[in-house]
Structure 1
Amino acid sequence: MQGNYFKNYPNKEGFFKEYGGSFIPEQLQKEMDKITKAYYSISKSHKFIAELRSIRKHYQGRPTPVYFCNRLSERYGGRIYLKREDLNHTGAHKLNHCMGEALLAKYMGKKRLIAETGAGQHGVALATAAAYFGLECEIHMGEVDIQKEYPNVMRMKVLGATVIPVTHGLKTLKEAVDSAFEAYLKDPINSIYCIGSVVGPHPFPMMVRDFQRVIGIEAKDQFQEMTGELPDNIVACVGGGSNAMGIFSAFLQDDECKIFGVEPGGKSLDIIGDHAATMSLGTPGMIHGFKCYTLQDEKGEPAPVHSIASGLDYPGVGPEHSMLKDMDRVSYVTASDKECIDAFYDLSRSEGIIPALESAHAVAYAIKLAQRSPQESILVNLSGRGDKDLDYVIDNFEMPK
């Protein structure tokens, strides 16, 4: 990749080549245009940048470290490193863009933050940002995910957020997005919809990516300082794709670095509804006001999806990921539910680090890479910690001896 990548993608209409854009009702488009204008204005402001940097350092605890997994590497080969986003305040990468979005909302004079959440990490992060800035917060979450991620539900409530259970459809992430959009449409003047990933209509895929770029910027410098070279492989899980774009962004123009996005293979890749492998098995389509790869049923509607990781069970994906797939710059692969659980316990018992089930998908693929290419280095974005998943894992899977 040559040239100034971040000036070229997206274009001014919000397209990453053929993907992205904004296909939404006129009323909502007017509000999105205001958000776009405000973001372009303040993202170049010294005051905004200085305040965001101060928040990251003194409140979030950035930079998060890069850590070498000595025992895991000895077991499987290769040299496995983790970018420890699980050590970011609230336990995941989500706060990187939530603090940015809340700061934008404050600049625009908004009073309420609205969002969806799957695994609950985005909801917790946004509730945290709302408390920090003194804003109201409303989080929409599918009933299935409320049951799976109950600790995060209670964290949101403790932080002062209102949690809205979503009871229609599959009662998971897609339906939570639908519900949050409906709530936003009722009062776009006083509210802002803080999308939780690099998805949705322009400017959110660009804006969330930009706020998440801090991961890759830090990781690249840290890895070079530790090893004197760039990593051979970069690995991150992909649902909507915010943590992945955060770390991928720093290495896209380094052709010697191989990049892997790991999707949920679920229970089976052969049955619709048993996986959420959007990039691996989907086709271009429309969802939630933008164009991307989607999993579709026979009617062309978003298909049912499954993953044990609530943050990954989405039938669409970020438009930038869709472009990077077509450009053959990123390889999109899968890890099954079983491989995810095995990696969850492997990392926990080898290194004393309990990963989120989302992140465990990336760890699972890193283990495969290490066995296949034992001389190569692998940098994994450990996007979140697994406290939220403990009850679900223990109740549904046998603990290894």
Structure 2
Amino acid sequence: MDDPGAAGRFGRFGGRFVPESLVPACEELEEAFRDAWGDPTFRATLNQTLELYAGRPTPVTPALRLSAELGVTLLLKREDLAHTGSHKINNVLGQALLARRMGKTRLLAETGAGQHGVATATAGALLGLDVTVFMGERDMERQALNVFRMRLLGAEVIGVSSGSRTLKDACNEALRHWVASADDAHYCIGSVMGPHPYPWLVREFQRVIGEEARGQCASLLPCGTPDVVVACVGGGSNAAGTFAGFVDTPARLVGVEPAGGAAMTAGEPGVLHGFYSHVLQDENGQIREAHSVSAGLDYPGIGPEHAHLADLGRASYLSVTDDEAIAAVARLARAEGILPALESAHALAWVLRAAGTPELPPGSTVLVTLSGRGDKDADQLARLP
């Protein structure tokens, strides 16, 4: 999980598939990121902001009661405790500081569950940048609290009525808007997707999750490293950041997708939103809609580096159903007093299913990245039958 080079390729995946008019903006961003990432002053500013504003480091919490019930040692990397309630703030603060360094005055963002939109609106308010967020109308309905939060923070939220009215369509609109406004606006992509350099850039901003967790596990576990590291995957930014900290250890890496949007297992290689990866598509190459109870995982593709890790056999990608994820929310809440986001509950649901089987034998140690808190999903869960 290193620098993908000028071509932005992770093995056969990745690349830059954008209109000619956006190539200069992508090249400008790559040059600016390389310069900033090699600048100790930029890195120090980002690290200080993450510490003093976002609340890093987030803890690793032993889930003692659930561990006893499952017969495994379960540790939770608590990104739900970061400012704004999810891991999204790590990437957004990095990109917002980079945008300001580039002289941009506006941030554009897409959002599904709303957490990336809230984080972008928060960073815009902090740094004095205007923010426009594109969000599918269906997601606006099921994530009304986050829509209110974004607007309260000063962001313009634009509903997208095309297609399935979810994350894929919000990405489409954000890309279209960026074409017309790249001179003064930075497109703050929320996951390890999009044209190069975004999958690499976002992974590097999220790497802090895995690096922190590795050190924390070293002090908590006699063996130093968990046997299995698990994270939910839509586009896959929290998983990429987590895996980056453990990819050179013996730990098994597991990404968990929603059954209705399992691009890795049910998709085929193709191009979506400027990158080449596994994508849900029909026999004619047309993008199929993803379906998930979780708005943040309702996406028909997966980040190209995840596809590469699967090609190498370094990470495995599995799926759980909506019902399993919903049950996992209640199980963690009642056993540990922690209400996870529906996205994070997918990772936990796999652990609940696998514990005690050959996939996760008794006595195993497992780290789950709890990518976000579940307040945003409370109304949606309350309305489920």
Q: TM-score range by the shorter chain?
A: over 0.9
Q: State TM-score, norm by structure 1.
A: 0.94
Aligned residues with identical type, % of pairs = 49
After TM superposition, give the deviation of residue 334 of structure 1 in Å: 0.6
Pairing 1:362–2:362 present: no
Q: Hey, what does 1:353 align to over in structure 2?
A: 338
For 2:364 and 2:70, locate their aligned partners in 1 and report how far apart those are by CA, in whole Å. 12
After TM superposition, give the deviation of residue 118 of structure 1 in Å: 0.3
1:127 to 100, 113, 121: 121
Q: Hey, what does 1:396 align to over in structure 2?
A: 384
One-letter amino acid of the structure 1 residue matched with residue 237 of structure 2 = S
Pairing 1:278–2:263 present: yes
Q: Hey, what does 1:268 align to over in structure 2?
A: none
Q: Hey, what does 2:110 align to over in structure 1?
A: 116
The equivalences for 1:313-332 within 5 A come to 313-332=298-317
Pairing 1:220–2:214 present: yes
One-letter amino acid of the structure 2 residue matched with residue 354 of structure 1 = L
For 2:54 and 2:325, locate their aligned partners in 1 and report how far apart those are by CA, in whole Å. 28
Q: Provide Cα deviations, 1:54-104, integer angstroms capped at 9, x if missing partner.
A: 101100010000000011111122111100000010000000000000000
After TM superposition, give the deviation of residue 369 of structure 1 in Å: 2.9
For 1:370 and 1:190, locate their aligned partners in 2 and report how far apart those are by CA, in whole Å. 50
After TM superposition, give the deviation of residue 371 of structure 1 in Å: 2.6
After TM superposition, give the deviation of residue 11 of structure 1 in Å: 2.3
1:374 to 362, 365, 369: 362
One-letter amino acid of the structure 1 residue matched with residue 78 of structure 2 = R
1:189 to 168, 183, 189: 183
Count residues in correspondence. 381
1:162 to 156, 166, 181: 156
Q: Hey, what does 1:15 align to over in structure 2?
A: 9
The equivalences for 1:59-208 within 5 A come to 59-208=53-202
For 1:170 and 1:282, locate their aligned partners in 2 and report how far apart those are by CA, in whole Å. 18
Report SS of the residue matched to 1:331: strand
One-letter amino acid of the structure 2 residue matched with residue 70 of structure 1 = L
Q: Provide Cα deviations, 1:10-66, integer angstroms capped at 9, x if missing partner.
A: 122100011110011111011110010000001111110110011011000100000
One-letter amino acid of the structure 2 residue matched with residue 396 of structure 1 = L
For 2:73 and 2:354, locate their aligned partners in 1 and report how far apart those are by CA, in whole Å. 10
Contact persistence 1:325–1:331 (CA under 8 A): yes
Q: Hey, what does 1:210 align to over in structure 2?
A: 204
For 1:376 and 1:103, locate their aligned partners in 2 and report how far apart those are by CA, in whole Å. 40
Contact persistence 1:370–1:378 (CA under 8 A): no
1:244 to 236, 239, 253: 239
Contact persistence 1:80–1:370 (CA under 8 A): no
Gaps of 5+ in 2: none
Pairing 1:338–2:323 present: yes
One-letter amino acid of the structure 2 residue matched with residue 6 of structure 1 = D
One-letter amino acid of the structure 1 residue matched with residue 64 of structure 2 = N
After TM superposition, give the deviation of residue 249 of structure 1 in Å: 0.7
RMSD: 0.8
Pairing 1:41–2:15 present: no
For 1:50 and 1:277, locate their aligned partners in 2 and report how far apart those are by CA, in whole Å. 38
For 2:64 and 2:54, locate their aligned partners in 1 and report how far apart those are by CA, in whole Å. 27
Q: Provide Cα deviations, 1:122-177, integer angstroms capped at 9, x if missing partner.
A: 00000001011000000000000000111111000010000000001100000000
Report SS of the residue matched to 1:284: strand
For 2:228 and 2:144, locate their aligned partners in 1 and report how far apart those are by CA, in whole Å. 34
Q: Hey, what does 1:6 align to over in structure 2?
A: 2
Contact persistence 1:112–1:135 (CA under 8 A): yes
After TM superposition, give the deviation of residue 298 of structure 1 in Å: 2.8
For 2:376 and 2:77, locate their aligned partners in 1 and report how far apart those are by CA, in whole Å. 19
Q: State TM-score, norm by structure 2.
A: 0.98
Report SS of the residue matched to 1:371: coil
Contact persistence 1:241–1:321 (CA under 8 A): yes
After TM superposition, give the deviation of residue 366 of structure 1 in Å: 1.4
For 1:196 and 1:79, locate their aligned partners in 2 and report how far apart those are by CA, in whole Å. 31
2:290 to 302, 305, 308: 305
2:19 to 1, 22, 25: 25
One-letter amino acid of the structure 1 residue matched with residue 274 of structure 2 = G
For 2:366 and 2:190, locate their aligned partners in 1 and report how far apart those are by CA, in whole Å. 27
Contact persistence 1:259–1:329 (CA under 8 A): yes
For 1:142 and 1:246, locate their aligned partners in 2 and report how far apart those are by CA, in whole Å. 26
For 1:362 and 1:71, locate their aligned partners in 2 and report how far apart those are by CA, in whole Å. 18
Gaps of 5+ in 1: 266-274
For 1:23 and 1:304, locate their aligned partners in 2 and report how far apart those are by CA, in whole Å. 21
Q: More displaced, 368-377 or 222-231?
A: 368-377
For 1:51 and 1:369, locate their aligned partners in 2 and report how far apart those are by CA, in whole Å. 41
For 1:395 and 1:369, locate their aligned partners in 2 and report how far apart those are by CA, in whole Å. 29
One-letter amino acid of the structure 2 residue matched with residue 306 of structure 1 = H
For 2:58 and 2:122, locate their aligned partners in 1 and report how far apart those are by CA, in whole Å. 18
For 2:311 and 2:47, locate their aligned partners in 1 and report how far apart those are by CA, in whole Å. 34
For 2:321 and 2:117, locate their aligned partners in 1 and report how far apart those are by CA, in whole Å. 26
1:231 to 214, 220, 226: 226
